A and B are shown apart, each in its own frame.
Chain A
Amino acid sequence: MRLNTVEFLLTQAWSAIVRNGAISGAAITNVAVALCVLGAFALTAFNLDQQARSQAAAVEITADLGKGAKKDDLDKALRQDPGLRSLRFVSKNDALRDLAQRWDLDLSALERIGNPLPDSFHVVPVDPHQVDALAARIEQFDGIADVRYAEQTTQRLLTLARGIKLAGLIAVLVLGTATLLLVSVTIRLTIYARRREIRIMQLVGATNWFIRIPFLLEGTFQGAAGGVVAMILLLPGYSYVQDVIESSLPFLKLVYSPQMLALLAVGTVLFGCFFGGLGSLIGLQRHLRDV
């Protein structure tokens, strides 16, 4: 493609945005609002998901050893299970020491009355979702007397994480569809405003793609501009919310890293471009034939 052709296409797109200033402004605002809501939702979902994951990742199965169990044999056998991430042996004495430390008890007094705790393995699963199955398999081993894990808490957290993801997906679909419709309506208005020009282009032999490219660029520009506006609102907004939460709910830690914020910024603009471009395509597909 020649340089002056590229210049012509860009000029066409830009002049359409400037000429239809009010409509373009409305489209950019719409994209920005949609992306702000999407971004806020994504941030919330991401944080809750991280919270759930860190909780779930801490899920540990405690497998108590029975009397006469051969620790080394069991260790070797358990490690064969592909669902096992890590395994740690805790002797009954260590367990007692832990207990005394945790509850601030007199260890020597406890030792005098005899240690009632069993030796145990502390097992971390590869996939927290598979904790039930892993626990059931461990229970089958000879020498394992009992298996315990925080079943309900884990399951609730994982269910919550799944729910958040699903709600996020639905929000993306609904808001994404609304954004697409808005951009396609804007493109329709531009097509109407430029119908005379398009007609002449068709008559003097411009190819369909040549006619379409300025509209695609226009939609993409609008999407990108909406994305930039959303990014400008989201980044300080998130920082503000983080400050508020930190001071009022210190036990809740929001994820806040330069990488995540950079990803959010780039993602918002790219999403804007994608929605803008796709909205234009839909608008073109539906309305260009009417010219």
Chain B
Amino acid sequence: MIHFQDVSVLYPDGTQALSGVDLHFERGEFAFLTGASGSGKSTLLELIYREIEPTGGQVIVDGQDVSQLPRHLVPLLRRKVGVIFQDFRLLPQRTVWENVGFALDVIGTSRRDKHRKVPLVLELVGLGDRADSYPDHLSGGEQQRVCIARALVNTPPLLIADEPTGNLDPAISRTIVQLLADIAERGTTVVCATHDTNIVDIMQRRVVELVQGVVVRDAKEGGGYHAA
């Protein structure tokens, strides 16, 4: 689903964010991306949805070299990649339903499809009864579920989460990550950047650890936050 081949990113200010990254994520796989702040986790995720371009190597998503993608085709790539953020990035003046529906509106989905998909995805993330609430009236965990629903509503084959539990307490964090794991069970590839030790240790999934832009560990299964 995702291939990184000898990928490096050098920012204009001279910061080497990633160097020589070789990684492969299968369809339906759930993987954690760990490392301290500034280790290159977010940079690696941003490469997947072409927020930035690599200065070396290739990033292939769903068979497509995204760094070679013409600018006008980037939106089509992004329709295949759902993105979840630490700060949720919801629109405060829109209801939960509207926030999720917004993601379909802007890609020209028909009204009928929207009315079919939004309730389904809200049920999936456990927010069926909060459709008419505004984000400010929701807890952090609920807001993150709305963010997940928005990322999923277009049924993308790939979901990436950048510190999805960064603003949540441990109990809520566990349910959110479990929800992501359940989504992966349905065939969606999920890559989740985190430095939440507990969550990684509990889930016992594949762990890719980055240190100063270099992959120092790739524990394919049953990995903990720290190397055994």
Contact = CB atoms under 8 A, between A and B. Distances in A.
Nearest to B92: A196
Contact of B106 (A1, A2, A196, A205): A205
A57 to B, nearest CB: 55
Contacts of B15: none
Contacts of A211: 106
B79 A205 contact: yes
Which of A197, A203, A210, A211 has the largest number of chain B CB atoms within 10 A? A203
Interface in B45-61: 49
Contact of B105 (A8, A199, A202): A8
Contacts of A1: 108
B2 interface: no
B110 A200 contact: no
B19 interface: no
Interface in B100-137: 102-103, 105-108, 110-111, 114
B91 A210 contact: no
B78 A205 contact: yes
A201 B105 CA distance: 9
Given A5-B108, A205-B107, A200 B72 contact: no
A275 to B, nearest CB: 28
A199 B51 CA distance: 11
A99 interface: no
B76 interface: yes
B89 A200 contact: yes
A7 B102 CA distance: 13
A207 B75 CA distance: 6
B154 interface: yes
A204 B150 contact: yes
B83 A203 contact: yes
Contact of A203 (B49, B110, B111): B49
A206 interface: yes
B154 to A, nearest CB: 7
A197 B91 contact: yes
A248 interface: no
A204 B103 contact: yes
A115 interface: no
Contact of B110 (A2, A197, A201, A206): A2
A204 B79 contact: yes
A5 B106 CA distance: 8
Nearest to A204: B103
A199 B106 CA distance: 12
Interface in B13-65: 49
A284 to B, nearest CB: 15
B78 A204 contact: yes
A203 B108 contact: no
Interface string A177-216: 0000000000000000000110111111111101100000
Contacts of B75: 202, 205-208
Contacts of B107: 204-206, 210
A4 interface: yes
Contacts of A201: 106
Nearest to B99: A200
Interface string A202-236: 11111110110000000000000000000000000
Contact of B91 (A2, A4, A200, A208): A200
Contacts of B114: 4
B119 to A, nearest CB: 17
Given A200-B91, A203-B49, A210 B108 contact: yes
Interface in B71-103: 72, 75-79, 83, 89, 91, 102-103
A207 B72 CA distance: 7
Contacts of A8: 105-106
Contact of B102 (A4, A199, A200): A200
The 8 closest A-B pairs by CB, nearest first: A205-B79, A206-B106, A205-B78, A204-B103, A4-B111, A205-B75, A207-B75, A201-B106
25 contacts: A1-B108, A2-B110, A4-B110, A4-B111, A5-B105, A5-B108, A196-B91, A200-B89, A201-B106, A202-B75, A202-B78, A203-B49, A203-B78, A203-B83, A204-B102, A204-B103, A204-B154, A205-B76, A205-B106, A205-B154, A206-B107, A207-B75, A208-B72, A210-B106, A210-B107
Given A203-B49, A205-B78, A210-B107, 10 more contacts: A4-B105, A4-B110, A8-B106, A196-B89, A196-B91, A199-B89, A202-B75, A205-B75, A205-B77, A205-B107
